[in-house]
Homo-oligomer: A and B are copies of this chain.
Amino acid sequence: VNFVESIARKRDGGELTAAEIRAMVTGVTDGSIPDEQLAAMLMAICIRGASEGETRALVEAMRDSGAVWHLGRAYTSAVDKHSTGGVGDTVSLVFAPLVASCGVPVAMMAGAGLGHTQGTLDKLSAVPGFEPALSLAGARERLDRCGACFAAQSDEIAPADRRLYALRDVTGTVPSLPLIVASIMSKKLAVGAPRLVLDVKWGRGAFCKTVAEAERLALGLGAAGRAGGVAVATLITDMNEPLGDRLGTSSEVRAALEVLEGRGDARLRDLTLELAAAALAIGGGDRDRAEEELQAALEQGRARAKWDEIVRAHGGDPDPARLAAPRERVEVGAPAAGFVREVDGEALGWLAVALGAGRRRLGDAVDPAAGVVVHARVGDRVEMGSPLATLEVGDRAVDAAALRERARGAFVIGDAAPAQRPLVCRRLEG
């Protein structure tokens, strides 16, 4: 079967065989299928979807397109965590030291950010000298030194995903459930942590706009994980407002440190504890005991100490004073008194991109000094002129007045207090 025939079958709503999918992924990896043919196939998959069997074949073929580390062989209780992407979501930077300080190895593949959400890899890059693992040897070295490892997708891991993701970014084929599942899970399975905690976001700032969509994605990810021999626990969580109170790379590292020091943003801390408890209890562990252990690790400073250890094991300098500082701050005050009813995370996320804290396109540079601090959270009572946010300006020349207006537009202030939305809506395990 030649590839144009495969494209035509998917175009007409037909199903591809596992052999066709493997042949496609081989052509992605070795470059023998040109971009235009892949783009046509990606769009056909985007519109027509893919069956569970097709998705599984795609995940496996993409996993096998590069090195498979099988980390679970040496680190049999290692856990990985993945979020589908949110604004102010600094969980990974707290989760890794917290869980590792409880004796459970953490092995995470960190990705670069795109669009209105920042990536863990970018935040880690804000720490001077921090080098993620790019090989199995590098991952093992870090795990052995500190019980945790942040890896970055190199040419070695799932190279097919690398090419497909870059292509999807420019061809309008990002929002496809099977393609998202394959992109995420191929990398998870290639690294090979035997346990995985998933944080699937729903809401205006997330890819899934409803809880139902988030559940579909969670089920797809869970099925692909289980098919690959991984124990998966999933939380479906709120992304109708920013998770934490900081956006931007250095700013989010500071936010993580605050939580590790027992201070910091309550929502960021709560969700991290939920995900960390799920990680410790995965496969039938005692959840109450897991929560106690985690609280103790925070209170006794072990999690905070583990952060420094992890940074050093990755070649970085843990001194917070060395994080980039903004060149200038622009304060944003409330235009009226009232209750904060909504905080539009997506708008703030794009504002952070405008400040230089994120990227519009793959390959854009990120300014570690740029960011946004959110002072007024949903439910807060504010007076006219009280601080809503602080814009942290880095190297990029910006129009402060225009950005201040944009920032103000992200806050909806009204007379009545808003209804409370649960941070965690659903827990799926199995």
What 0/1 readout, one digit per residue, does chain A (137-179) give for beta carbons within 8 Å of chain B? 0000000000000000000000000000001001111000000
Task: Give the contacting residue for A7; candidates B4, B41, B172; CB below 8 A.
Answer: B172
Count of chain copies: 2
Q: Is A281 an interface residue (CB 8 A)?
A: no
Given contacts A172-B8, A172-B11, contact A167 B36 (CB under 8 A): yes
Q: How far is the CA of A142 from the CA of B222 in the complex (A)?
A: 69
With A36-B170, A170-B4, A172-B4 already in contact, the answer to whether A11 and B47 are too (CB < 8 A) is yes
Whether A40 touches B37, Cβ cut-off 8 Å, given contacts A11-B172, A171-B4, A172-B7, is no
In the complex, are the beta carbons of A40 and B8 less than 8 A apart? no
Q: Which of A8-50 contact B (CB under 8 A)?
A: 8, 11, 34-44, 46-48
A5 CB contacts on chain B under 8 angstroms? 172
A35 to B36, CA, bound (A): 5
Q: List 24 A-B contacts (CB under 8 A).
A: A4-B170, A4-B171, A8-B172, A11-B43, A11-B46, A11-B172, A34-B170, A35-B35, A35-B39, A36-B38, A36-B39, A36-B167, A37-B171, A39-B39, A39-B40, A39-B43, A40-B171, A40-B173, A41-B172, A43-B44, A43-B47, A44-B47, A47-B47, A47-B48
| Chain B residue at smallest Cβ distance from A4 | B172
Closest residue of chain B to A40, judged by CB? Answer: B171
Chain B residues, CB < 8 A from A47: 11, 43-44, 47-48
- A286-314 interface code vs B (CB 8 A; 1 in, 0 out): 00000000000000000000000000000
Taking the closest CB of chain B, its distance from the CB of A47, in whole angstroms, is 5
Residues of B within 8 Å of A40, CB to CB, are: 39-40, 42-43, 171-173
Q: How many A residues are at the interface, by size bracket?
A: 20 to 34
A172–B41 alpha-carbon span in the complex (Å):
9
Q: How far is the CA of A41 from the CA of B170 in the complex (A)?
A: 11
Question: A42 — nearest CB in chain B belongs to which residue?
Answer: B40
- Residues in B with CB closer than 8 Å to A42 are 40
Q: Per-position contact with B for A375-392: 1 when CB-CB < 8 Å, else 0?
A: 000000000000000000
In chain B, what residue has the closest Cβ to A6? B172
Question: A73 to B234, alpha carbons, bound, how many Å?
Answer: 70
Q: How far is A41 from B172 in the complex, measured between Cα atoms in Å?
A: 9
Whole-angstrom distance from the CB of A175 to the nearest CB of chain B? 8
In the complex, are the beta carbons of B48 and A171 less than 8 A apart?
A: no
| Chain B residue, CB-CB nearest to A167 | B36
Which B residues touch A39, using CB under 8 A? Answer: 35-37, 39-40, 43, 171
Whose C-beta in chain B lies nearest to the C-beta of A11?
A: B172
Q: Knowing that A5-B172, A7-B172, A37-B172 are A-B contacts, what are 20 other residue pairs whose CB atoms are under 8 Å apart, sorted by A's residue number?
A: A4-B171, A4-B172, A7-B43, A11-B43, A11-B172, A34-B170, A35-B36, A36-B36, A36-B167, A39-B39, A39-B40, A39-B171, A40-B40, A40-B42, A40-B43, A40-B172, A41-B172, A44-B47, A44-B172, A47-B48
Point out which of A35, A40, A46, A170 has the most chain B C-beta atoms below 10 A from its C-beta.
A40
Q: Smallest distance from the beta carbon of A209 to chain B beta carbons, Å? A: 13
Of all chain B residues, the one with the shortest Cβ separation from A48 is: B47
A344 CA to B42 CA in the complex, in Å?
Answer: 34
Chain B nearest Cβ from A103, distance in angstroms: 46
Which parts of A269-293 form the interface with B (CB within 8 Å)? none
Q: Which residues of B contact A44 (CB under 8 A)?
A: 43, 47, 172
Alpha-carbon separation in the docked complex, A341 to B39 (Å): 43
